[in-house]
Amino acid sequence: MATLRLGDTVPDFKQDSSVGPIDFYQWAGDSWVVLFSHPADFTPVCTTELGKTAALSGEFAKRGVKPIAVSVDTVESHGKWIPDINETQNTQVNFPILADADRKVSTLYNMIHPNALANATVRSVFIIDPKHVLRTTFTYPASTGRNFDEILRVIDSLQLTDSHKVATPANWKDGDDVVIVPSIQDPKELAERFPKGFNPVRPYLRITPQPNR
């Protein structure tokens, strides 16, 4: 199975989940999606991650993002695990956990890495836009929990740069200055797009306040 690359249209699928059968494209609708995989139910790092995802439900919602998790265990196992997540993480899991017991989704998205985990999914993240295009991926080792601040930061960057002719510099966070893309050189267009002005540090490095702020 070929690895999904940035810019690829992600595969559609139908799979059971903790909230019933999921038809992925239909479920996603016109939202952004964060699809993230877990090696197994009742594992400590995964429990904290699913709890954090639930706790950030408002942050995902205001960005128009739907989170959905994947584990190779069954719906029955998920049903027993979710109360543990809710109790230990002081939250309520309010998003689907796919029950990928037949490894269908794991195989489609190349989540099985035999040199890392023989028959379970590695800890991957796929950020998918409303056109079902893969925009960002992360893959973590089983021992390292995901940084959800970074996931939200990347979503903010993607959504900003999709709507404005800018890019986000190192360590950028929502509200920080951004850089103007080099393709814009016409003075009239620059003035129209960036009425707050910009600092031309170099001809190719022009700093401007975040346009949507």
With H, G, I as helix, E, B as strand and everything else as coil, classify residue 192: helix
- Which one of 46, 50, 99, 190 is the catalytic residue? 46
Amino acid letter at 13? F
Establish whether 46 is a catalytic residue. Answer: yes
* Half-sphere exposure in the Cβ direction for 136 (13 Å, CA): 17
Q: Which of 128, 83, 108 is nearest to 15 (CA)?
A: 108
Q: Are 208 and 196 in contact (CB under 8 A)?
A: yes
Tell me the β-bridge partners of 136: 127
Q: Which of 37, 39, 36, 15 is nearest to 120 (CA)?
A: 39
Catalytic amino acids? 46
